[in-house]
Structure 1
C-alpha cells in the first residue's frame, strides 16, 4: 500500500496496520488474518468484507453500470464518429472482482446481452485462472496496486457469461500506458488504469478484438478506476515524472534561456 493511502487514512483518524505483502491471504499475518483477529477482540468490531459482501457487486450493478450505459447511450452517433449506441466491449481490471462483475450484469441484463466483458489481471495474480493456465509469473510479485490476488474473492463471478475472457498484463506495459494517458489525454491516473488500457490494447489484437476494431461504430469502454494522488511517492511514478526523456520543447527552452544568460553566468534551478 502506498504511503499516500496510509497518510490519507491517518489524517481521517484511522489506525493503519501494515502487513507483509508476501503473506498468503489465509495466513494469520495477512491483512485478512490481522483484520479478523482485531475484529474478534475489539468490542463491536465489524469487517465490511469487500471480498464476500454482496453489496460490492450490487453497488456497481445499480450505480456504476447505469452511469456508463447512460453516457454511451447519450453520446450521439455522427458521420465522423459513428456509434452503435451500445457498449460493445467492456474492459476492467479485477481486484475483488465486484466492479467488473457488477458492471457486466448491469450491461448484459438491461443494455446489451451480447457485450464482451474483458477482465484484466496482472501477471502474478490467479484471478484469470482457470482461463489462463500458463506460467505467466503465477505467484510472483507485481507492483501494480488494487488489482489481482492470490485467491479468488467470492464476489468475483466465475461465470464466463459475466466475464467472457481474461487478459494478463505486466507492470512495465501498465506503467507505459499510464504515461501515455498522462501525456496524450491529460488523465492523472494510477497503475491499475494503465493495466486496463494495456489489457484493452492487447485484447484488440486478438482475433475477436480485431473484428471489433475493424467494425465501424463499435464502442469499447475501458474503466480507469484510480488516480495518481495515491501513488506520487512510488518509484515508478517518479521515474515517469522526473526521469523521462525531455520533451521536444526542452531544446527550444534551453536555446532561449541560454542566449539570454547575463554575463555568461549559468542559470540554476529556481533562478
Structure 2
C-alpha cells in the first residue's frame, strides 16, 4: 500500500505509555505522539482542514497566497499542504520563536517575516497585525487565522478525539493539553465529553498568559500579561477556538519547569519532543493529587524536539536564564577555585617597549589593553614579534597601533565546554565580570586547575 501524497499520512499517531517521568503520578499516563505527523506536529491536522474548508468556500483560489501568523508548527503544516496544492506562503512569527522553526519554514519555500514579541496584539508591528495588513495588500491571498477559524477545533473533533477514544477503548478519564490557539483542547475535548461527560479536560497555561484567571473569574486581566519564554502555549488575548465550557481547569507552569521537563522527557522516556510537552507533563505532575490509580490520562505531545535545539536542548541557553544548576563547571566555579590575583592590563597609550618589558617581567604571553579603564583589546608576544620584524621602529609607538581584538567576554553561568571552545591559538583566555563587577581572566591553566582540583 502507498499514499498518493504526504498529506494522506497526517493523523493516526501512536499512543505511548510513560513509564519513568511520571513515577509517583497515580493512574496510567499515555502520551499522544503527534511528532509522527509528516510536519512533526499536531498542527498538520488543522492546517489541512483549514485549507480544505477555504477551498470549498471559495476563500482560497487556485494559485493563491496563504498568509498566516504562526509560531512555526501551523506554518509547517500550511507550507507542506501549499506545496502539494500549488499555493504560495507568507508567514509572520515572533522573535521569541526558535531559529530552527523559522529555518524549517524557509526550507519549505515560505517567506518568513519576524516581528517583535513584546508588543500588544493591536500594535501594527505585532505578528497578528502584520499578517492582517499583508492579507489586505497581497492580491489573491487568504489568511487562515488559526486563532479564530473554527476549522481548527473541528479538525481535532473529527480526528484527534476519535483516535484517542478508540486507542483507549473509551477508558480515558483525563485529557491534558497545552493551550495556545485552543483548537486541540477544545475540539478533542468536545468529542470526548460527548462520548463521556465525566472525562476531565485540563488545560496547561503559562505565567504571562490570561487563560487561567479568565477561566476562574471571567475577568480578562491585562496585568496578567507579561513576556514569557515557553513556546506554543498561553496567549495575551482570547482566541475564538478556546472553548472555556469544554475545559474544566487550567494549570500554570513556569518557564523553567517547562524547559527542564522538556529535556527530561527525552532523557527519561526516549521521546524527543518540544517545549509544550514539557509544560504539559509539568502541569500534570503539579495536579497529581487530583488523580486516582484507576485513571487513564492522555497527554498531548504537540511537536518535535529538533525545533528547540538552540533553546531547551542547549545547556548554555538554559544556564544564561538561570534554569540549569548542575555539577558541570561554569565560569563562576572556575573563578572560585582560582587563586586571587590582580589582572594585569596595559593602557593603550603605553609603548610597545613597555609592553615587552611587562611581558618579560610578569612571564605572561598576552595582556588585555585598556582605554579609560575599559578593556578594548589585547597584545600578545606574537603580535609584537610580527610588528617589529616588519618595522623595528615601532618600539616607541603606542600599543594601540598593534593591539588585536579583546579576549572574548563570558558571563558567570557560561559552561566549561563553551569557555574551552573560546580558548584557542588567537585567544589564550576569556574575560568574565564577577559578582562585584570586577573583571577577571580565565586561562587554559585555570580550567585544568579547576578540573583537577
- In the superposition, relative to structure 1, how do residues 240 and 99 fare at CA in structure 2: closer, same or farther (>3 Å)? farther
- Name 2:206's counterpart in structure 1: 122
Q: Deviations over 1:226-261 (max 9, x none)?
A: 111111112x320189987579xxxxxxxxxxxxxx
Whole-Å separation in 1 of the counterparts to 2:191 and 2:256: 32
Aligned to 2:86: none
Residues 89-104 of structure 1 mapped to structure 2, 5 A cutoff: 89-104=174-189
Residue 132 of structure 1: how far off its partner (Å): 4.8
> What is the TM-score when the length of structure 2 is the normalising length?
0.47
The structure with higher relative contact order (CA 8 Å, sep 6+) is 1
Structure 1 residue ranges (4+ consecutive) displaced by more than 3 angstroms after TM superposition: 131-135, 240-247
Matched, 1:154 2:258: no
Partner of residue 30 from structure 1, selected from 126, 136, 145: 126
Partner of 2:315: 239
Alpha carbons of 1:241 and 1:32: their partners in 2 closer, same or farther (altered >3 Å)?
A: closer
CA distance in 2, matches of 1:173, 1:132: 23
CA RMSD for the aligned pairs? 2.4
Aligned equivalent of 2:256: 172
Give the aligned length: 226
Match of 1:53 among 149, 170, 183: 149
Which SS does the other structure have where 1:118 is aligned? Answer: strand
Contact 1:58 1:102 in 2 (8 A): yes
Secondary structure of the equivalent of 1:25? coil
Does structure 1 conserve the Cα–Cα contact (< 8 Å) formed by 2:310 and 2:317? no
Distance 2:121 2:305 in 1: 26
How many angstroms apart in 1 are the aligned matches of 2:294 and 2:183?
Answer: 29
Q: Give the alignment partner of residue 158 of structure 2, picking from 58, 62, 66.
A: 62
Equivalent positions of 1:83-94 (< 5 A) are: 86-94=171-179
The runs of 5 or more residues in structure 2 that have no matched partner are 1-96, 329-453
Hey, what does 1:39 align to over in structure 2?
135
Query: What is the CA–CA distance in structure 1 between the aligned matches of 2:143 and 2:258, rounded to whole Å?
Result: 31
Q: Which has the larger radius of gyration?
A: 2
SS at match of 2:260: helix
1:13 to 109, 118, 132: 109
Instruction: State TM-score, norm by structure 1.
Output: 0.77
